[in-house]
Amino acid sequence: MATKHDLILEHIENLPVGERISVRSIAKNLRVSEGTAYRAIKDAENIGLVSTIQRVGTIRIERKLKKNIERLTFGEVVRIIEGEVLGGSNGLDKDLNKFVIGAMTEEAMRRYITPGSLLIIGNREGAQKLALQDGAAVLITGGFDTTPEIAKLADDLELPVLSTTYDSFTVATMINRALSDQLIKKDIMQVSDIYMPLEKTVYLQSGDTIANYHRLSEKTGHSRFPVVNKSMRVLGVVTAKDVLGKADNQVIDRVMTRDPNVVKQSMSVASVSHQMIWDGLEMMPVVKDDLSLVGMVSRQDVMKAMQLVQRQPQMSNTISDQIVGDIVTIDTDREDNLLENPYFKFEVTPQMVNSVGTISFGVLSEIVANVAQRSILMDQRRNTLIEQMNLHYLRLIQLESEIEIHSKTLELGRRSAKVDLEVYIDNVIVAKAIVVCQVMERS
């Protein structure tokens, strides 16, 4: 039987997009308490059914679909190129391994066509047939159609023949970007890569007593447990601090922390690390969209994962990597250098400037943030996450300028650090920043 909570979520989901809702209206219309209505609306916000907008209120929104490419299939290629399927639709779920541009003779291109590849070609029936027979899919550019014979061959072999109005160069650029994005996404560690699955997760049920908590704690050696209802929905988290001094027959529900911080499997480990450090959390339940428990992630696992990620090279460069890739660390241990601390140098390249030829504010922000993190790593052997930055752009920084950045750690605590950075051109200060970082624990 559905609970009042479930009925409210179902009611919200059936509301038209754009509809305003409130705790009072939900409580009145569904005849529930305002507390029950409030908790349901917060859950609806967590799973993307509603959004609270300042000076507007809480409104029903359209749930966003996951747009990240888990694996690049031919079906995903159709979406990327805004194309259509001319044949072989049963093969749309097959993976794309590489693409080949057919700007050569059929004999010459044969060596490049392999199973799982995609031949990008114009209106050349012979090349299209060759690709299908060699196990490759076909993408016809320029908006051309194909022949019934090729379409039938594609259906028989379950290899897609696609069509797009874009030219070969544009299509190749779009697909190459998608492949690069896929590699970057794979290299970004997610909760799904490190969390403890449900079959290994220890939890308590609603209605259990503090005596149950003590028995479970003695058995497992753990002191923090999620609390779930009969539908496995997470209701709260109970810790040793919650049960201290309480009677053994007292129900867990009365002492647990309700509506705890939870994470989804698709969240990045970096974002979870940020939350755990800032809020001092040791464990977080991992849930589905309906808040049902699928596992848990510990602070120790997150810290180890973050340390590992920051030591490993990436499979594909992000925009951030491209910006900070040319920053050079200048060692000041030499006798001819009067400065005590190392500093950093880089040159403003054409890719870094805006339309008037000066360095983009976003690029300068990325560089300053990276230098702050490098400084603490070099000085304290501690990895960090940027929490806040106050950047002042004092003078215009022109194309091809050679820049020096000097940093000084103002404060360093167990959880945070504050770094002062000054940006110079020819010994003249051109920008200044104060960066606040979260300091990661050593694993």
The model's pLDDT over 81-96, given as tens digits with 9 standing for 90+, comes to 878 899 998 998 888 8
Fold assignment, 319-439: Thiol Ester Dehydrase; Chain A (3.10.129)
Query: What average pLDDT does this structure show over 97-110?
Result: 80
Model pTM score: 0.43
pLDDT in tens, 332-344: 554 444 445 678 9
Rounded to a whole number of angstroms, the CA Rg of the chain reads 28
pLDDT of residue 218: 92
Q: Are 174 and 275 in contact (CB under 8 A)?
A: no
- Count the Cβ atoms, other than its own, within 10 Å of residue 433: 23
Q: Exposure pattern of 360-380 as b/e (b: 16+ CB <10 Å)?
A: beebbbbbbbbbbbbbbeebe
Q: pLDDT over 70 for what percent of the chain?
A: 86
User: What is the predicted pLDDT for the residue at 302?
Assistant: 82
Question: DSSP H helical segments within 47-167, as ranges?
Answer: 74-81, 106-109, 125-133, 148-157
The residues that bridge with 419 in the sheet, in sequence order, are: 409, 435
pLDDT value, residue 335: 43
Measured CA to CA, the distance from residue 122 to residue 128 in angstroms comes to 9
Q: What angle do CA 299, 380, 411 make, to 5 degrees?
A: 90
* 241-268 mean pLDDT: 90
Give counts: helices (H), strands (E), the chain.
Answer: 15, 21
Is it true that domain 4-60 has CATH number 1.10.10.10? yes
Residues in CB range of 440: below 8 A, 6 or more apart: 273, 277, 303, 306, 307, 382, 383, 384, 385
Please give the single-letter amino acid code of residue 279: D
pLDDT surpasses 70 at 281: yes
pLDDT of residue 313: 46
Q: How far apart are CA 353 and CA 401, in angstroms?
A: 11
Every domain of the chain with CATH number 3.40.1390.20 lies at 74-186
What's the pLDDT score for residue 162?
93
Instruction: Tell me the β-bridge partners of 40.
Output: none
Greater confidence (298 vs 332) lies with 298
Q: Is residue 103 predicted with pLDDT exceeding 90?
A: no
Give me the CATH topology for the region 192-308.
CBS-domain (3.10.580)
Q: CATH 3.10.129.10 region(s) of the chain?
A: 319-439
Q: Which of 152, 117, 262, 131 is nearest to 201 (CA)?
A: 262
Where does the pLDDT of residue 217 fall: very low under 50, low under 70, confident under 90, or very high at 90 and above? very high
pLDDT of residue 315: 44
Residue 254 has pLDDT above 60, yes or no: yes
Whole-number average pLDDT of the chain: 83
Of 207-211, 215-219, 261-265, 300-304, which gets the smallest average pLDDT?
300-304
Classify 74-186 by CATH class.
alpha beta
Amino acid identity of residue 258, one-letter, is R
Task: Report strand pairing: 428-439 vs 384-393.
Answer: antiparallel
Predicted pLDDT of residue 161: 94
Domain boundaries for CATH 1.10.10.10 within the chain: 4-60
Confidence of residue 381 (pLDDT cuts 50, 70, 90): confident
The per-residue pLDDT for range 136-181, each reduced to its tens digit, is 999 999 889 999 999 999 999 999 999 988 887 778 777 777 666 6
Higher pLDDT, 193 or 195: 195
Q: According to the model, what pLDDT value does residue 213 have?
A: 94
For residue 101, the model assigns a pLDDT of 82
Q: Which residues pair with 163 in a beta bridge?
A: 84, 140
Inform me whether the pLDDT recorded for 204 exceeds 90.
yes
> Where would I find the H helices in 4-49?
4-13, 23-30, 34-46
Q: Six-digit token pair at 24?
A: 């009072």
